[in-house]
Amino acid sequence: MQVASRKPPEGQKRGWLKVVVLILAWLIIISLARDVWKIRSGFNRITESQTRLEVEEVRNAGLKEKLGLVMTESYKEKLIREKLNMQREGEVLIVMPKKEGVGTNESGETEFVEPNWEKWWNLLK
């Protein structure tokens, strides 16, 4: 009596080997594609960061210029005169009345106010 061989035929071994190699190849391709995508997005982030840096450098230069103007003695004197209503010794402060014909209402809008003589003239007409 002959004993049946349990060994798979040679073609089946090669088929499984091809499937395993194919799966490994796809995994490597997918991994490489992900890495390329991450590198590309990294370059995009670098360019975005450079543009933000340039904007902030321009803003910083403007603030430094403004700081230089604010630190001058003439600006300090101007603030003291305007905000604190102070003057030097011997100077006289003159307060001028507001211009007639222009006023503000409750909502803060500027409106035209007629002088008193025009109101009387219109009433007597």
SS3 labels along the chain: CCCCCCCCCHHHHHHHHHHHHHHHHHHHHHHHHHHHHHHHHHHHHHHHHHHHHHHHHHHHHHHHHHHHHHCCHHHHHHHHHHHCCCCCCCCCCCCCCCCCCEEECCCCCEEECCCHHHHHHHHHC
Give residue limits of the domains in the chain: 12-86
Q: What is the pLDDT of residues 71-100, one digit of tens each?
A: 999 898 888 888 887 877 887 777 766 665
The model's pLDDT over 23-76, given as tens digits with 9 standing for 90+, comes to: 999 999 999 999 999 999 999 999 999 999 999 999 999 999 999 998 999 898
Q: What is the pTM of this model?
A: 0.43
